[in-house]
Structure 1
Amino acid sequence: MNEAPLGFLFGLLAVLILMSGFFSGSETGMMSLNRYRLRHRAKTGHAGARRAAKLLEEPDSLISTILIGNNLVNNLAAAIATVLAIRLYGDNAVVPASILLTLVFLIFAEIIPKTVAAYKSEGIAYTVSHVLLPLKKLMFPVIWVISHVTHLFLRISGIEKNDGSEQIGLEELRTIVGEAGHFIPKAHQGMLMNILDLEHITVEDIMLPRNEVFGIDIDADTADIIERLRIAEFTRIPVYQKDIDNIVGVLHQRDIISSVDEHGRVQRDALMKAIRPPYFVPEGTPLNTQLLNFQKAKRRLGIVVDEYGVMQGIVTLEDLLEEIVGEFTSNLSTDTEDITHQPDGSYVIDGTTTIRDINKTLKWKLPTDGPKTLNGLLLEKLESFPEANVSVKIDRYRFEIMEMKGNLIQAVKATAGKKQQPKLS
């Protein structure tokens, strides 16, 4: 080495710096890859993705290959720099040369390659895989020894090779969807988020409450039943006997049309035959479970009952789908709104409006872990049946009861105060 021309040594040192930069960038590029995107591209037949995925199947071997190569070229570069320093300036130049070489390696073999690889991880990883794959095979004996020694120390320290770190939970998946940016349209992001929320929402959160259910009394005259069907806003109507709690079936408008005789009348026998058996849903059923249950039972309407079998309301497949895609149907009766904005900035809200609907519509944060409706929330807060004009404050929200009907709050005037800023200690 002492006899080699200086030009050759400087050229070899420059090559070693480039090789060190190659290994440093390779490590960052390979480890920065999005594993899920990589698997997708590999499945679609992308050659570079397949090579990178094959390398990442054994990350310890890949890291060993990169580190062996990187340490080898770094040590050779240090030796050559020492020889050059001694030949040019004598023994006193060894320390300054080492400091200079460290700065050169830090900038050109570490920071720059790793920064570029972090920004362009896919392109870098797919390119370097051409070299790393055969290099890994060439270094197999050395890697084998190093890997076994490494695994021995890992076992002694109690670290498992496969710890499930690549598995993601719902919260991590929510973060991935939320940070997808322009890769997933806003509307699709919302639907995906709603799907992830289905297991946290139960049927009573979206059901039509019992007091708002439109039904038909099976004991009524045929003419009265037909009139009720004529004014019905829905295609599927629950049928009860004497009391709405006693649901005996569900009637579909389409089946009635097919039962009309040549005189335009409906025979009672045909009407009774058109009634389908009821489908009951236990309260507390998560929406993701109920979606599958609707699919298995081939039903679109369920009667929600509590643990005693008492009817609580009805839930439909359309209600459930609206939780995913947003509201896509409109009630035929548009004379009244559950939430009406007032000129003074307040809102008049129907007492039967669900807390979830209020939060979604007004972007409020009323508690949802207790009563499901505004009526229930206010009664729980008051602990008694109030008179009209009574005011209730919950967090920063103020409610004034405008109208009572029996033991049910009919209308409420609601306002939201300013958000409280956290106090700095």
Structure 2
Amino acid sequence: MYKKKKGFISLFLNNIFFDQPKNQKELLMLIKKSKKNKFINSNTYNIIKGAINIEKQKVKDIMIPRTKIITLKINDSLNVCLKKITNSSHSRFPVINYNNNYISGFLMAKDLLKYINNSKKKFSLKKILRPPVIVPESQSLNRILKEFRLKRNHLAIVVDEFGVITGLITIEDVLEIILKKINKKKLFKKNDS
């Protein structure tokens, strides 16, 4: 009699519903066993492991510190904005007020395109800002990732318990934590299962 080999999904579902892992450690062991039995490849294993482990990390663990944030000022001219954008190669910028302690909003570099080579349009940084997103540094990475996805934001200003700006976090920073152990050469290989 021919015995069909069970795939990863059926084994995974079988273990979840009939022999449920009791905690994250057991879940990771199940996933590791699936990798060992070649039901999943090492990239899939690392992605799942990274996704599970992000709930243990906080925003403050991976944020870009305030001293390294490239900002624009609310009264910057179009030329100053363009120079900072081209020098940094970033596409999104926090815009600070006059005293450097308050975020007025975020500028998307693409929002400046309508002002380039159009001397008739009066430039006002205030008018094209997007609302600021503020998160506490104690927030877990899985929660911030969910907020980024639901609200379609890509970056947020990080504040401490007193409301003082301590840094900035981007969706790319969080995804990098999840994907950090992926062998990129294997990821794009055609026959890798």
AA partner of residue 230 (structure 1): T
- Residues 170 and 327 of structure 1: is their aligned pair in 2 closer, same or farther, counting only changes over 3 Å? closer
2:139 to 279, 282, 285: 285
Pick from 58, 64, 70: which aligns with 1:208?
64
CA drift of 1:221 comes to 3.5
For normalisation by structure 1, the TM-score amounts to 0.37
Structure with the bigger percentage of helix? 1
CA RMSD of aligned residues (A): 2.7
The corresponding residue for 1:232 is 88
1:171 to 21, 25, 31: 25
1:325 Cα shift? 1.5
Query: Does residue 257 of the first structure (1) align with residue 76 of the second (2)?
Result: no
Counterpart secondary structure, 1:183: coil
Tell me: CA distance 1:266–1:327, structure 2 relative to 1, closer, same or farther (3 Å). Answer: farther
Secondary structure of the residue aligned to 1:250 is: strand
Q: Distance in 1 between matches of 2:51 and 2:133?
A: 24
Structure whose CA Rg is larger: 1
Please name the residue that 1:322 is paired with: 176
The match for 1:37 is 11
Q: Distance in 1 between matches of 2:12 and 2:132?
A: 49
> Residue 47 of structure 2: which of 179, 191, 216 is its match?
191
Counterpart CA distance in 1 for 2:25 and 2:60 is 24
User: How far off its partner does 1:168 sit?
Assistant: 2.8
Point out where structure 1 has 5 or more consecutive residues left out of the alignment: 1-35, 41-52, 57-164, 329-425
The residue identity in structure 2 corresponding to 1:312 is T
CA 1:283–1:39 in structure 2 vs 1: closer, same or farther (change >3 Å)? closer
1:296-327 CA deviation, whole Å, 9 max, x = no partner? 22211000001111001000011111111228
Q: Is the 1:294–1:300 Cα contact (8 Å) retained in structure 2?
A: yes
What's the CA shift for 1:202? Answer: 0.7
Question: Bigger relative contact order, structure 1 or 2, given CA contacts below 8 A and separation 6+?
Answer: 2
Once the 2 structures are TM-superposed, how far is the Cα of residue 261 of structure 1 from its aligned partner? 4.8
Q: TM-score, normalised by structure 2?
A: 0.77
Aligned to 1:360: none
The 8 Å contact of residues 115 and 123 in structure 2, kept in 1 or not, is answered as no
1:276 is displaced (CA, Å) by 0.8
User: Unpaired segments of 5 or more residues in structure 2?
Assistant: 1-9, 183-193
Q: Quickly say closer, same or farther: Cα 1:247–1:38, change in 2 above 3 A.
A: closer
The one-letter amino acid paired with 1:176 is: L
The number of residue pairs the alignment matches comes to 170
Taking the aligned partners of 1:259 and 1:232, their CA distance within structure 2 comes to 20
1:246 aligns with 2:111: no
1:311 aligns with 2:150: no
Q: Give structure 1 regions of 4+ aligned residues with deviation exceeding 6 angstroms.
A: none
Which residue does the alignment assign to 1:299? 153
User: Contact between 2:21 and 2:27, CA under 8 Å: does it hold in 1?
Assistant: no
Question: Cα gap change, 1:324/1:38 in structure 2, threshold over 3 Å: closer, same or farther?
Answer: closer
Deviation at 1:286, TM superposition (A): 0.6
Q: 1:38 to 1:223 in 2, by over 3 A?
A: closer
